[in-house]
Chains A and B, each alone.
Chain A
Amino acid sequence: MRHLSPLARREARLALALLLPTLLIVLSIVVVPVLANFWISFKPVELGDLRPPEPVAREQIRKRPQQPGEELVLRYNLRGSNPTKAIAGVRLHDQLPAGLTPQNLDARCSVEGPNLTCDLGDWEPGFRERLTLRFVADASYLDAGIEPTETPVQLQGDAENILTSFTFTLDNYRRIFNDPDFWPVLRVTFLYTLFGTLGSLFLGLFAAQLMHQNFRGRGFLRGLFLFPYVSPVIAVSFAWVFLLNPFSGTLNALGLKLGLLSEPLNLFGQRVAQVDLLGLSLDFPVALTTVIVFESWRYFPLAFLFILARFQAIPQEMYEAARVDGASPLQQFYYITLPQLVGILSVMFLLRFIWTFNKFDDIFLLTGGNAGTRTLTVNVYEQGFALANLGAGSAVSVVIFAVLALFLLVYFRYAPQGDDHA
């Protein structure tokens, strides 16, 4: 900034101030977490390890004095919150009500006024102890009627926080690459991404063709066609699951009734079906196809909107000229419309490809990643949460990140400059 004029410097400072909140929030919630995956993926961290081990005490009165001079027995049941982790330098602190005199106080403890402090030293993993303290109560204690359990016990101790420590491992990567499911998951991810993208583009192109003409009710239909896209995925996915339910779903019942099906199809639950084609027996991935169809259905409106906008920008004169030259409607489509669409179609393809690749909600809600529909994104959830291994989940995230970086490279290489595709 040194070579800027004072005015320009002021302007830059202002720009920075205006951008600062956005930058901070995006940096801390998006950029840093993406990078943090690299860190976590090298750590042996499971879901339960997120809680730093801490000392826990339960305070109980084992014996209550009835008369002055009688004994009060107080017990602390002590343990570490995580039985597999050690805790160092544990100190216990509690407040005692007035009128209690300690008897044979444990050597680690001391009482100063109302304050009880115990220096409990280092705890091994799985440490447990019952610390029993005896007091003699006098009349003032009985009069006040306040019991020692009414004040909370405070404990301090040092333990390793797995997230910030410097313990590293390659186990997570070993684990995910050695998983026999890894390559199938990758394959499913690409099939899903490719065909989901193509399906939604194809439907969108078709729908845009239909709408590129004036007729009554066109505005309404255009709004309607956007429904699958704007409505919450949680609602439409449940509707689809019920609609296609093999035993009590409408479509299967209809197919059986009309004689189109001999047995109900479990479209979201069946991994493969044998299809006989020209004497060849093929394994047809049923559930994967169904989620691809869902994906195409849900996202065609987006392609539809963009392609329609592009259609309307094609000058009518071109068609008139073609008509004069005697071009038939299909020839007009092939020679005039399609070339005009190539740009938007390829940009849409790249964008949709990346977003479909990123998609998690849809498959998770439709099949939970079962029946041969587990994609990389679902695998992050599976590893990190279903199997409670955060490190392995992060390692999958890193794989996603790597693949994505490749796509983005392609995108920025081939996307039109100036971001004017919209």
Chain B
Amino acid sequence: MKSLQHWMLAGALAALSAVSAQAADIRFWTTEEQPERLARQEAMAESFKSKTGIEVEVIPITEKDLGTRTTAAFAAGDLPDVIYHTLQYVLPWAEAGILDGEAATDVVYDLKKQTFAPGALGMASFGGGYAAVPVDGWTQMIVYRQDLFERNGLQPPTTYAAIEAAIQKLHEPPNMYGFVAATKVDENFMSQVLEHVLLANGIHPVDANGNIRIDDQKMVEALEFYKVLADASPAGDLYWQQSRELYFAGKAAMIIWSPFILDELAGLRDSAPPTINSDPTTRELAQKTGVVTTFAGPSNPEGAAWADMRYFGITSDADTEKAMAFVKYCMDEGYMNTLAIAPEGKFPVRRGTPEDPNKFVRGWAELPVGVDRKAPLQDLYPTTVINSIVAGLETASRWGVKEGQLSAASKVINSQVINRRVREFIDGERDAQATVALIRQDLERL
């Protein structure tokens, strides 16, 4: 069988030699698949090659498919060498044997542990080392129409109550939706938004022993609140795309989005232009916009912010030496280029080098954002806005981090159980109490 298979492969390869690309030394999967960002990463691979002679093939993977495709590749024994992925996969993948934690740990120690932000490293801590190398992070924001809030005498949306009050006042469909909630259950985006909303009311579904722990009252409050958001949104499956389109058209008062929106919001990207007026390069909307990263529910007055971290994972099928060299390059010499892929959504988690401990933080602040036009962030937004975004990263949390149960929490998120049940609740299939009970039951079954 083996030899037959090889023979067939050889035949196909010969036939295909005209079209197939030459196999690279290492393969790099990335979720940053926008053409401009991809081009930057390819340029980086090119400069890495000219330095080391190691060829890197940059392969874009849709973020939604990343989990399935990686598991499939693991099953088939053809994992790529390096994967750029989000926090939610770090520990589950390390436990499934997909990631080679020892290689990642070696990279972190070679680059000096103290140059990394401790929070980001801590979230990847696994078996005495690190499951993956932290690359960058961002905080989720409520983007809102400051002009409308001020005109109507509304408080900034920093609490459940303030948001509900604003919806009451501003929701006038179809010209203005009070909010655009996330309701498409198979999108990561919905998990992110929900986790943020639940965290704001102090809900941490996994306790320090890895058991499911859901406070009924807090959860019911959060569900009822989310239903208010959903009722103030258009019908149907919504995710980041509709949020942005409606907000850009001036038809939404509040949305939840990542800082990646900041450049296109200021009219710097032609493929996602603000359509609030006839000028696609307008900065009008940016000037009318305020952002909030920390908001609070009634049972959790201090509130919470939500951050995502991104990591380079070195896989267990990797050509380890070469993969490590590539990751080191991207985190050291090439780190400014890594951040420059989209600085508005990539805050540095490696702050500097041992010699110059603030090098990268300094450099990042000066990086211009935008695609078709470029400008540094501070030219586009008031300092207060930028400060509040960056400050969020310090206080931001995630389920399972405080409890040391990130892995269990990641499984809760990846199962999308909460998404599905919340959507059913929004659609009116059952009441809040029953939904909480069902969520608890579903999660315990995991």
Contacts and interface: CB of A to CB of B under 8 A. Distances in A.
Interface string B67-94: 0100110111100000000000000000
B59 to A, nearest CB: 19
Interface string A21-64: 00000000000000000000000000111110000101000000
Contacts of A265: 235
A83 interface: yes
Given A58-B102, A83-B95, A270-B236, A50 B184 contact: no
A268 B321 CA distance: 48
Interface string A76-117: 010111110000000000000000000000000000000000
A256 B174 contact: yes
B97 A271 contact: no
Interface string B222-252: 0000000000001111100010011001000
Contact of A82 (B96, B127, B184, B237): B96
A285 interface: no
B77 A269 contact: no
Interface residues of chain A: helix, strand, loop or mixed (majority): loop
A263 B234 contact: yes
B317 to A, nearest CB: 9
A354 interface: no
B71 A386 contact: no
Contact of B96 (A83, A270, A371): A83
A262 interface: yes
A370 interface: yes
Instruction: Say which size band chain B's interface belongs to.
Output: 20 to 34
Contacts of A247: 234, 242, 245-246, 249
Interface string A350-388: 000000000000000000101100000000000001101
A371 B426 CA distance: 13
A228 interface: no
Best-surrounded residue of B100, B185, B235, B245 (most CB of chain A within 10 A): B235
B71 A388 contact: yes
Contacts of A370: 184-186, 237
Contacts of B246: 247
Contact of B100 (A58, A80, A262, A386): A58
The 6 closest A-B pairs by CB, nearest first: A266-B236, A269-B236, A50-B75, A269-B237, A270-B236, A51-B75
Interface of B: 68, 71-72, 74-77, 95-97, 100, 102-103, 127, 173-174, 184-186, 234-238, 242, 245-246, 249, 316, 320-321, 427
20 contacts: A47-B72, A50-B75, A50-B76, A51-B74, A51-B75, A77-B102, A81-B97, A82-B96, A82-B97, A83-B96, A83-B97, A128-B127, A262-B174, A263-B173, A266-B237, A270-B235, A270-B236, A370-B184, A371-B236, A371-B237
Given A80-B97, A271-B427, 7 more contacts: A51-B76, A58-B103, A128-B127, A246-B242, A266-B234, A268-B236, A368-B186
